[in-house]
């Protein structure tokens, strides 16, 4: 019994780690194509939010993860503003198999970056003369699983189609 307790207290040879090293804005854009006349319209906006993420290896166990958050707001069919933020981070990620690594890059790292991107969008919008833009939470795990399932379904559909060269 004492041996098992001692074994349990020993750290793993390959511990699982996700640790941010640096968080920064990679690209920022704000456009108000219909100003100043847009400020004279009744503020009843239609808001569209687009989200994308990507990750790339920098060196062993070091990865850059980037989220692109684009908010397009229209009033009476005219674009009031378009705000786009590419929020990035450098993360140390260790001890995961490739599938878990991909999931962690696209879920856990994104969860860390998203509040920074939301704050940047809100700041841009406010400095542009518009009411504060508060973005709600997103379920990144569900978004990731939906994307993985779509890719799997697409791959399965492609493999079921006959090869035109052998028909």
Residue range 58-99, pLDDT digits in tens: 999 999 999 999 999 999 999 999 999 999 999 999 999 999
pLDDT in tens, 113-164: 999 999 999 999 999 999 999 999 999 999 999 988 998 888 888 777 665 5
For domain 14-151, say whether CATH 3.40.630.10 is its number: no
Q: Scanning the structure block, which residue is given the tokens 């969008």? A: 121
Q: How far apart are CA 114 and CA 20, in angstroms?
A: 13
All structural domains of the chain with their residue ranges: 14-151
């Amino acid at each position: 019994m004492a041996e098992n307790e001692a074994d349990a207290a020993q750290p793993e040879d390959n511990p699982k780690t996700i640790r941010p090293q640096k968080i920064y804005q990679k690209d920022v854009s704000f456009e108000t194509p219909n100003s100043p006349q847009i400020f004279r319209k009744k503020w009843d906006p239609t808001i569209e939010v687009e989200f994308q993420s990507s990750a790339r290896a920098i060196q062993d166990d070091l990865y850059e993860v980037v989220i692109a958050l684009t908010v397009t707001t229209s009033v009476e069919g005219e674009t009031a503003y378009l705000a786009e933020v590419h929020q990035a981070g450098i993360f140390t990620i260790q001890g995961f198999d490739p599938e878990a690594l991909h999931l962690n890059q696209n879920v856990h790292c994104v969860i860390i970056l998203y509040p920074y991107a939301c704050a940047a969008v809100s700041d841009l919008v406010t400095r542009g003369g518009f009411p504060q833009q508060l973005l709600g939470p997103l379920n990144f795990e569900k978004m990731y699983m939906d994307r993985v399932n779509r890719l799997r379904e697409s791959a399965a559909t492609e493999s079921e189609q006959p090869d035109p060269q052998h028909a």
